[in-house]
Amino acid sequence: MVYQEKISIMDNLRKSSLLKLLSMLLLLTAFSFAGYAQDEEDEEGPCENRYGNDEAETKKNLSMFNQYIQTREYHKAYKYYRYLLVNAPCVQKRVLFSGAVVTESVMGHLGRTDMEAYKGRFKGLRDTLYMSYEKRIEYWQQEGYVKGKWANSIALYEPNKLEDALKMFDESVRMEGYSTDDKVPSWYISAAVKGLKNEIITSDSLFRLYFHLMDIIMYNKVNSVKDAAKWETTEVYVNSTMSPYLECDKLEEFFKPRVKENPADLELKKMVVQLMKKANCESREFYLKIAEEVAVAEPSAEAFISLAAGNLANGKKWKAKELYEKGVSMMEDGPDKVEALLKLMSLYYGDQEYTKAKNYASKVISIDPNNGNAYLIMAGVYAGMVTNCKDDKLEGKSMYWLAYDMAAKATSDPETKEEANKLLATFKSRFITKADAFLHNFVEPEGASFSIPCVGITTTVRYRSE
């Protein structure tokens, strides 16, 4: 038998700034559960007696619970959920997986419609929320994942227990590692900033946490293709939350005395370099000094790249090139190496050392075949070789065909597509006409393959319309 209850539309909701704030707080935790609560499979729980002591009553409550979950009227499912939580918590997987959103929906509903009832029931509802997390871990594991949600609830509903929330966030992130849920870093950094303001944690701890969370974020931006957009949103939020603490003057003021007191603390110096680099403080004398000390004490690709950035920001371009090259020689293929190679490529191209620029562009392409910036540099280099490659019978103008090839490849990269299309038009306007080619005894037809003698690379014959 399926039990049903008349479903009515809520009456007019009362408004106030306090209620809006409450709704926002609840949204942070409840929203992520909503879709999942309805779609979760009705998997049976791992209990021997999953229906508890009264099978008929459990089935009745389960039927009503599922009715309101299906219609997304979560607050109406609460009294049935409460019975199941106490008497048959593992009757169905959906019950505990939906527990948090159901409980918080009641809190939100009461907060909007009956503040006195909300205040009177708040503690009991909060305890039910915590019990939901506890039971979910007990019966369905996922301890690290659930603790991330639990920690956020503590931070929201018991601000006086912020230290407990931070400890639980730490447990969650340590357990989950790179599998951390995409919302947890945002919740954690917000709680940590509050912890700093309340003198629960130190600035050092906040900065270390920031690096830890950014490592998780950057890993998932690259490796979690399906959720990359979510992780980009998380990155924006975390950086925005930390931005007041990532200012050059503040960082220098904070770390200078600490470095002076602990001159042998290499890890501290590494953190200074990373933070100041993140805040674009490479031009600071303090940054350059600490970056050099790190590179001397522990030579590494990262140390040389950081020191190169400092020298470049201080106008020492020749020294920067030397250090970038040292760093690159110690790096394995990957995004960091591509970034360093692009920097070298741009430096040499800017100094009109085109052969070296082309070599570094080729190295970028060997690692990242779709990198538009490298193809644009190649296009610029080939276009600039026209006057030096006149053994093609065309006064070197076949180099525009090759430059066109490179620019065409750059259109595949969204970052460089617009610039590449502009270059395509420019190179096309410089193609030789068929009549002029004939005057040079060049009779290859349009679309034919042609190997350019100067560089030994095959391109496609193209003529400009007369």
Q: What is the pLDDT of residues 308-350, one digit of tens each?
A: 999 999 999 999 999 999 999 999 999 999 999 999 999 999 9
Residue 154 in contact with residue 164, Cβ under 8 Å?
Answer: yes
| Cα(151)–Cα(279) distance, integer angstroms | 29
Closest CA to 190 of 243, 238, 150, 244: 238
Mean pLDDT calculated for residue range 143-170: 95
Q: What pLDDT shows up at residue 183?
A: 95
Three-class DSSP labels, the chain: CCCCCCCCCCCCCCCCHHHHHHHHHHHHHHHHHHHHHHHCCCCCCCCCCCCCCCHHHHHHHHHHHHHHHHCCCHHHHHHHHHHHHHHCCCCCHHHHHCHHHHHHHHHHHHHHHCHHHHHHHHHHHHHHHHHHHHHHHHHHCCHHHHHHHHHHHHHHHCHHHHHHHHHHHHHHHHHHHHHCCCCHHHHHHHHHHHHHHCCCCCHHHHHHHHHHHHHHHHHHHHHCCCCHHHHHHHHHHHHHHHHHHCCHHHHHHHHHHHHHHCCCCHHHHHHHHHHHHHCCCCCCHHHHHHHHHHHHHCCCHHHHHHHHHHHHHCCCHHHHHHHHHHHHHCCCCCHHHHHHHHHHHHHHHHCCCHHHHHHHHHHHHHHCCCCHHHHHHHHHHHHCCHHHCCCCCCCCCHHHHHHHHHHHHHCCCCCCHHHHHHHHHHHHHCCCEHHHHHHCCCCCCCCCEEEECCCCEEEECCCECC
| Cα(398)–Cα(164) distance, integer angstroms | 70
Mean pLDDT calculated for residue range 173-181: 95
**pLDDT reading at 8 higher than 60:** no
Q: What pLDDT shows up at residue 243?
A: 87
Q: What is the pLDDT of residues 87-140, one digit of tens each?
A: 988 888 888 898 899 999 889 888 898 899 989 999 999 999 999 999 999 988
Q: Which residue has the higher pLDDT, 392 or 408?
A: 408
Which tokens belong to 74? 């979560």
Q: What pLDDT shows up at residue 90?
A: 86
Residue 6 in contact with residue 38, Cβ under 8 Å?
Answer: no
φ and ψ of 391, to 5 deg: -90, 20
Query: What integer best gives the mean pLDDT of the chain?
Result: 87
Mean pLDDT calculated for residue range 404-412: 96
Residue 398 in contact with residue 459, Cβ under 8 Å?
Answer: yes
Largest Cα–Cα distance of the chain, in whole Å? 100
Range in 11-20, 29-38, 405-414 the model is least confident about? 11-20
Q: What is the pLDDT of residues 221-232, one digit of tens each?
A: 888 878 889 999
Q: What pLDDT shows up at residue 411?
A: 96
Q: What pLDDT shows up at residue 204?
A: 86
**pLDDT reading at 460 higher than 90:** yes
| Cα(278)–Cα(239) distance, integer angstroms | 10
What are the domain boundaries of the chain? 1-141
Residue 251 in contact with residue 276, Cβ under 8 Å?
Answer: yes
| Cα(194)–Cα(156) distance, integer angstroms | 11
Q: What is the pLDDT of residues 33-84, one digit of tens each?
A: 444 443 444 555 567 788 888 999 999 999 999 998 899 888 898 999 999 9
Q: What pLDDT shows up at residue 222?
A: 85
Residue type at 442 in one-letter notation? F
Q: What pLDDT shows up at residue 11?
A: 35
Q: What is the pLDDT of residues 201-249, one digit of tens each?
A: 998 899 889 989 988 998 998 888 788 899 999 999 998 999 888 889 9
Q: What pLDDT shows up at residue 45?
A: 56
What are the Cα distances from residue 283, in Å, to 175, 312, 313? 39, 8, 5
**pLDDT reading at 161 higher than 90:** yes
